[in-house]
Structure 1
Amino acid sequence: MPHTKCFHCGLPCESEEIHFDEKAFCCNGCKTVYTIFKDNDLSYYYELEGAPGKTPELTQGKYDYLDDPLIAERLLEFKDESHHIITFSIPHIHCSSCIWVLENLNRLNPGVYSSQVDFPRKEARIHFNSEQISLKDLVSLLNAIGYEPSITLEQYEGGAKKVDRKLIYQLGIAGFAFGNIMFLSFPEYFESGEYWLEKYKGLFHWIIFAFSLPVVFYSGSGYLTSAYKSLRSGMLNIDVPIALGILVLFIRSTVEIALDLGQGFFDSLTGLVFFLLLGKFFQQRTYSFLSFERDYRSYFPIAVTRLKTDGSEESIPVHEVLTGDRLLIKSSSLIPADSILLKGDGRVDYSFVTGEARALSKKSGDRLYAGGKQLQGAIEIEVLRPVSQSYLTELWSDAAFSRNPKTAFRNLTDRIGKRFTVAVLTIAFVAAGIWLFIEPSRALNVLTAVLIIACPCAIALAAPFTLGNLLRIFGKKGFYVKDTESLERMALVDTAIFDKTGTLTTTRKNSIDYTGIELTEAEAVLLKNTLRASGHPLSQTLYKQLAPYNIIPLDNFEEHLGEGLEGRLADAYIRVGSSEFVTGAPPAQAGGSEVHISTNDSYKGHFIIRNSYREGAGKLFEDLSHAYSLAVLSGDNESEKAFLEELLPPLTPMYFNQKPKEKLQFIRELQREGKEVLMVGDGLNDAGALAQSKVGIAISEDANLFTPACDAILDSRQFANLSVFLGITKKAMKIIYMSFGFSLLYNLAGLYFAVTGQLEPVIAAILMPLSSISIVAFTTAATNWIGRKIV
């Protein structure tokens, strides 16, 4: 029986249905947001997209720490008397409605001057008057309309983000100069003899020279600096011949216009720099809004509530928490440090830390670890170790995070470029030396022609454009790769390791089976209302799956933590929970979580709640088994081992109850055996293994929510296509090799004519950008062709 959908957020109205203004709402929060929009003439929000909103959360006292001026100042980008600017990360931004309402915040509160949304980054930059609306009130306003900002310890420690726009400026200047120099050079291309062109030709040449100066010394400075540092360190990289080609073109062209020998090769020079920068820009900007270096700070709060000795409360930054401090941890809040539970009933979810899917019951005196989430009610804890020394942060102290294991990988371009550089320089100077004896007047022409025609710009562009375009194609399909080197490493892996919980399984649905005597409608109503009163994850999972019944207050309800529930309504009595709690018998190995039921002391049956595995997982493993060695590492128990054996190829190793450090050590052992390891995980507990592996891929239900340190983020809906993505990276490397082959043939042909003195520098300068354009066209077309296989 379907539920009525909430007009504001679109979720089904399960527990209650509120009618207002001839519309249905799932809770008072959604109704309040609708009222705010209506009263402020923002109802157009709902016309942009149906049910675009999010149910606001209750946050009383949650943002008190923002009243601390020291914390606020660290978060602000700009502060000048009353005018403040701040950029918020708002994960819920997902459609045009979100952009529209966030950019109209000034209509909700006049203290907001303006706001601008960066949709790809899911960020909002807000200018506001601190005398009319405080930072705390601004955040509360955003939460009230369903757009709660994500404010984390990482943001506090890092301060306001600084955007480096240097590459954009360099590319813009190079493109502007390239276009204008081409325009000014047109008459000479056609050797027009018009009087006014001949009269002002010298002026045009010096204007062209002026345009080239910022291109060489600003736009091309990166290549010149890199080549200089390379030579100083006694090494040769791909930038050496590129820098030499730039300098030769510039010096030769300057000499020609200074001595009135011609117009030089400034058009080819600026075109070369422009195309090189375009490749670099293409590579850097592709999906740069994703974060691949996140750690525990990315989701830790920046402040917590500390209890003073007089019983009062204060908000303090989390890094100021000391051993012995007493903290108040509210419902659904994270435990920031290793501690002892003093008061309250703990119901702690460690799934982000250990991978174990079930929440744990804790009582006074039990030890709690940083990273756990208190699910139900408030608790008081005493800190044993500060945040920087807690169990969670020990993982980030491992060598896998203090060094970068990928730096030893020399990318393909540098490996080939070094040999190419030596060969080109040798040929150029040997040929020039020979011509000094044969015909000295042609020696400089030969040297220049060789350096220009053999300039490795085509090689330098092949990998960035091939892999950069692949980044774009993958990103459009939900596979967000960190950079082009990650794609190169991905093509080399031979072993794939998978986490289970949250990676092979999905958090969006579960498989539930019932065995036993069918419940009467009255018993089903009692069961539904008993489950509704519990915050246990299994209770809530089962509650959402049961058919809707009337919500009736129970006469009596009692929850036995770690055991089960008891509920009474009139003369009907029910017990729900573990086999031992309901029947007194130990549980059987059911391959899932069991929830047993008895009514009026009469046993009825049990539900088995199993994890749902991602669609296409079996086919994926079958495809991968042909090219990769496979294994499963799980922090969960062995309850689903039998099912996994059916899902995975025969004899696939499976390891359960694996702690984070054990996963990391497992990867290291494989690497000592010479394996190139790919790790696929989802949680914080996988972060060490992801960082240690050759390539770490994080599976995410939402790519903009927390993901651990990784090389790529895979949208969970594309999980079944992982083998396709990996196969395409191998094909991309073949495309690069083919590009190198074409470039080599071109260079060999060009070098023949240049060395024999048959190629004038001007012709070489025209052919050089044409070769670059042909490589760019080929790599783009080829990657689009291989990318068509992705569904």
Structure 2
Amino acid sequence: MSESCYHCGDDVIGKGYSLGDKKFCCNGCKSVYQLLHENGLNSFYAMEEQAGVKPKSSDIHRYDFLDLPAIRERYIDFEDENSVHVKLFLPAIHCSSCIYLLENIHKIEPRILSCQTNFTERTATIAFKKSFPFPELALLLDRIGYPPNFEEKKEVNKSIDKTFLYQMGVAGFAFGSIMLWSFPEYLGIDEAPAGFRSLTAYLSFFVSIPVLLYSARDYYMSAFKAIRYKQINIDVPITLGILALYAQSCYHIFSGLGPGYMDSFAGFIFFLLIGKWFQRKTYRSLSFDRDYASYFPVKKGQLVYAGGRLIGAKTRFQAKSKSERSRLANLWNKSSNVSEERTISQKKWDKLSAYFLVGVIIVASIAAISWAFIDTNRIVSTVVSVLIVACPCALALSRPFTYGNTMRKMGRSGLYLQNTEVIEDINEVTDIVFDKTGTLTKGSQEKVTFEGGMLTDQEWGSVLILSNSSTHVLSRTIAKWIKNKNLSIDSNVEVENYNESVGQGIEGQVSDQHIKIGSAKFMGLDAQDGTFISINGEVRGKFMFASELRDGLESMMADLTSNYTVHVLSGDSEKDAQMMREAFPSLENCLFKQSPEDKFAYTQQLQEQGKHVMMIGDGLNDSGALAKADVGIAISEDVFQFSPNSNGILEANKLHKLTSILVTSNFAKTVLRICLAFSIFYNIVGLGFAITGNLTPLVAAVLMPISSISIVIISTVFIHFRK
């Protein structure tokens, strides 16, 4: 019996390579083991046995092309005098051990600062010292078994999308064709010539081959990988059902017993692929940015990729290439790692499928043993009927269809979620924390008054130009107020030395004037209300804002306080507290003069009390609290507004729909339970008939796609028609 390689698990041919009591299939695997062992990464093998990837032999000059300026520029996301940031596609990523090894690669090479992986996309975002050559980084990844793929990612995604559509098209074509040929069987017409029946049976067999080998191959690959690494996911029982149905159909066709069940086989795979396509379309319709710190500063002359957000002074850009390297979607890397791929919820579903598979095998075994004493001729038919009728297609489709429909309905209400996991998080929420300014209030529509001395048109113009450089709600309000004065202002002047202090104010040089806009603390004054203006070090006045609540919030807040504990936090003064309490009599927790740090600490304090917190805020001031909360929802006045650290984006004018959105989220959980109850009922009844021999494989195969369609109809109808 051949031994397995300690690193990658392949068979060791001949003597192989040895190191102590460990055997390796090649010198490459042995070298990687030594590299990991020398750097204290032995726990890589403790996570999963034989988890490694066999390194490809490579010439040390293989990646020298990365030093060419034109090539290097294409893959560098950010570069300064100290560090370089790149995002690389590593197709060899396949398990949690890969994630562990890559995210600890800095222990192997100290010049690597950090590595964050995205299991979903099989990418790694790596920061390394500028003294570490880019080709050497690629060579190191190659040495440990993760050679980078430098194909254009857009083309790779296009290819993946096309392949999936082709798979679905092949299955759909086969399903329709085989059903057409099977009409005599459906109608019970016995007069059809035997030659015609034989012809249609063999046609069904040949048409089903591409479905088996092409359309369903992703399920086999997923199941094979799971079994290889001693795991069971939901694709394992699906694969078992596919193969059982196909094997039984082939047996019927070639033994002359009948046309088999190729129509149900093709239909089963077709509906599974539709469910997967629906899920993918739902996910890809979203675009989020999770971390404002990922917006790296750039210098004059450096490249800025499409999707970037200008948060400083006005800047002139020159278009250099197409926008295929947008940063908006790529900045998931700090949180969209393997935990996104294998969330707690998904693990529960895979665990459920594991129990399901074990249960089906036990039931099939009991049925086989029982019928061995009753009628041996019915053993195969009964076992196949059990495996087919108990196929977990309903389990596989319940979650993506239910939550996919829910996300689409929420989108029509103005809430765009990061992924379906957020729906489950929303259902656990006990406390809702609102920011006031720009969230509960109308932001740019606030009533504004200016208290202070006279300013010249040129000075007002400087204040306008500076305030236009910020995305903060008060800056936008000030800019709008000045524009309404219809002054003669030179809009071609640019801001220099722009700086924004989060939660305090902004400043910059406009022409020959140093302008500051911000709080009393920002100006070095004693605590006072208002937003002050300073020109060349002299405070010239302050803006006062009379908050105006968004429409429909009174009834919304009344509904929320009856089901959740509601909190309002604001950086404004206590003068607005009375207005908030009069508008929302049921509101008990209302805190003012809260800094960004205070909001973060308040959210953390609630969580330490065992509360599940939803934070709803606007702007960078709330980014820390949004990130800390169990669910962070960013209010957006327009689709281009920067929304950091959020799990979702809510259109500002749709805030009053929050109650109905939360009801929809909770209703989705009910619908999912209904789908699961239907699946359990279907399996219990189906298994009962199958075990007793009252369900033929033909009927079982017909029921299988019907159960899938039923799940789709239940989830779609319930969610769509829910008011």
Equivalent of residue 379 in structure 2, options 443, 449, 454: 443
Is residue 243 of structure 1 aligned with residue 226 of structure 2?
Answer: no
8 Å CA contact retained: 1:515, 1:605: yes
Per-residue deviation at 1:715?
Answer: 1.5
Instruction: Specify whether residues 702 and 159 from structure 1 end up closer, same or farther in structure 2 by C-alpha distance, changes over 3 A only.
Output: farther
Aligned residues of 1:461 and 1:775 also touching (Cα < 8 A) = yes
Task: Please give the residue correspondences for 1:128-277 in structure 2 after superposition, counting only pairs within 5 Å.
Answer: 162-163=156-157, 164-165=160-161, 166-193=163-190, 197-277=193-273
Distance 1:641 1:216 in 2: 67
Give the residue type in structure 2 aligned to 1:651.
E
Q: Which amino acid aligns with 1:272?
A: F
Aligned to 1:642: 577
What pairs with 1:590-629 in structure 2 (closer than 5 Å)?
A: 590=529, 592-593=530-531, 608-629=544-565
TM alignment of 1:376-387, pairs within 5 A: none
Relative to its length, the structure with more helix (as a share) is 2
**Residues 252-280 of structure 1, C-alpha deviations (whole Å, 9 max, x = no match):** 11111122221111111111111111112
Preserved contact between residue 233 and residue 353 of structure 2 (Cα < 8 Å): yes
Answer whether contact 2:429 2:613 (CA < 8 A) is retained. yes
Query: Would you say the 8 A contact 1:698–1:713 is kept in 2?
Result: yes
Query: Does the alignment pair 1:724 with 2:660?
Result: yes
Residue pair 2:636, 2:652 contacting (<8 A) in 1 also: yes
For 1:555-566, what aligned pairs fall within 5 Å after superposition?
none
Whether 1:304 aligns to 2:299 is yes
CA distance in 2, matches of 1:173, 1:467: 27
Question: Partners in 2 of 1:706 and 1:748 — Cα distance?
Answer: 51
In structure 2, the residue matched to 1:25 is: none
Sort the Cα spacing of 1:551 and 1:671 in 2 relative to 1 into closer, same or farther, 3 A: closer
Deviations 1:733-771 (A, max 9, x none): 111111222232232222222111111111111122222
Q: Tell which deviates more after alignment, 230-239 or 726-735.
A: 230-239
Paired letter, 1:464? P
Aligned twin of 1:310: none
Q: What per-residue deviation string (whole Å, max 9, x for no partner) do you get for residues 39-64 of structure 1?
A: xxxxxxxxxxxxxxxxxxxxxxxxxx
Equivalent residues of 2:574, 2:592 under 8 A apart: no
CA drift at 1:447 = 0.9
Match of 1:373 in 2: 312
- Distance change (3 Å), C-alpha of 1:162 and 1:182: same
- Cα distance in 2 for partners of 1:500, 1:161 equals 45
For 1:608, what is the secondary structure of its paired residue?
Answer: strand
Residue of structure 1 aligned with 2:711, choices 740, 757, 775: 775
- 1-side partners of 2:333 and 2:271: how far apart? 42
What residue is the counterpart of 1:119 in the other structure? none
What pairs up with 1:368-447 in 2 under 5 angstroms? 373-374=312-313, 404=339, 407-411=342-346, 413-414=349-350, 416-447=352-383
Q: Deviations over 1:446-484 (max 9, x none)?
A: 111112222221232222222111222222232212332
Q: Are 2:403 and 1:467 aligned?
A: yes
Matched, 1:747 2:683: yes
* Partner-residue secondary structure (3-state), 1:431: helix
1:442 CA drift (Å): 0.8
Structure with higher strand content: 1
Contact 1:594–1:608 (CA under 8 A) maintained in structure 2:
no
Look up the match of 1:455: 391
TM superposition shift of 1:681: 3.2
Aligned-partner SS, 1:214: helix
Of the two, which has the highest radius of gyration? 1
CA displacement at 1:493 relative to structure 2: 2.0
Tell me what 1:710 maps to: 646
Distance 1:69 1:655, change over 3 A: farther
Aligned residue in 2 for 1:340: none
Deviation string for 1:582-607 (max 9, x for gaps)?
xx9988855x43789xxxxxxx9986
Q: Separation in 1 of the partners of 2:336 and 2:403?
A: 26
Contact 1:633–1:658 (CA under 8 A) maintained in structure 2: no
Note the residue ranges of structure 1 that are not aligned, 5 or more in a row. Answer: 1-67, 77-155, 306-314, 320-333, 335-351, 353-370, 378-394, 554-560, 565-575, 597-603
* CA RMSD between the two structures: 4.6
Given that residues 593 and 610 in structure 1 are in contact (C-alpha distance below 8 angstroms), is that contact kept between their aligned partners in structure 2?
no
Q: What's the secondary structure of 2:345's corresponding residue?
A: coil
Q: 1:208/1:406 Cα in 2 relative to 1: closer, same or farther (>3 Å)?
A: closer
Question: Amino acid of the residue matched to residue 185 of structure 1?
Answer: S
Deviations 1:426-461 (A, max 9, x none): 222211211112111111111111122222212322
Structure 2: which amino acid aligns with 1:616? G
Note the residue ranges of structure 2 that are not aligned, 5 or more in a row.
1-68, 78-149, 317-330, 468-473, 491-497, 499-504, 508-515, 535-539
**Contact 1:678/1:694 (8 A) holds in 2:** yes
Q: Quick check: 647-656 or 721-730, which moved more?
A: 647-656
One-letter amino acid of the counterpart of residue 438, structure 1: I
- Native 8 Å contact 1:467 1:484 kept in 2: yes
Q: How many residues align?
A: 530
Residue 483 (structure 1) aligned with residue 480 (structure 2): no
